[in-house]
Amino acid sequence: MKKIITLLAAVALSISFLSAQNARRAVGDKSFDLGIGINLTNGYSIMFPPIDASFEYTVLDFGTAGTLSAAGVASFGMDKYKSVNVSSFFVGPQAVYRFPIMDNLDLFGKVAIGYCSITAGNDIYKSLIDHKGFAWCAYAGATYYFSEKMGVGLQFGNGLSTAELHLTIRL
């Protein structure tokens, strides 16, 4: 049974590699990303995993050196710090640099600055945890395109989630 499952997984992976599409972007390309992450910060446990959504528009093409996109991003998550419920929200503009390394795979770096609201549900930690105002976040990761319009990726960084799995849909 184990051999059959391994064989099926290998065949599925081979087919997906054969049908994989070009990761290259051009000026005017648009995409929508939806992600779910985890916060690996010490002392925090997940109540509602951080989710984020972003819309990306490619504005500059540097040829083989990659592309630069402008994006808008919104994120939300709920954690527990010790015995305190903590809700977090982030919204703002984002710059995305993408570098295609293979026909179906690109590496990227993202930087965003925007409004962030972190609220603690307990008066004891309110002064330590609460934050409302501007904040920044940065991520690095990769996206694998398994079809002309869809890809999956993994990113790591310092936003509401420290690791995130995302689905990319090209429009």
pLDDT (tens digit per residue) in 140-160: 999 999 988 899 999 999 877
Looking at 17-21, 92-96, 162-166, which range is the least confident one? 17-21
Check residue 101 and give its pLDDT: 87
Q: How confident is the model at residue 20 (pLDDT cuts 50, 70, 90)?
A: very low
Q: Domain 2-170: give its CATH code.
A: 2.40.160.20
Contact 139, 2 (CB under 8 A): no
Altogether, the residues listed in the chain come to a count of 171
Of 165, 171, 170, residue with least CA distance to 34 = 165
Q: Is the pLDDT score of 65 beyond 80?
A: yes
* Domain residue extents for the chain: 2-170
Of 96, 51, 57, residue with least CA distance to 76 = 51
Check residue 12 and give its pLDDT: 45
Contact 90, 75 (CB under 8 A): yes
Task: Read off the pLDDT of residues 82-112 as tens digits, 9 standing for 90 and up.
Answer: 767 778 889 999 999 999 888 889 899 999 9
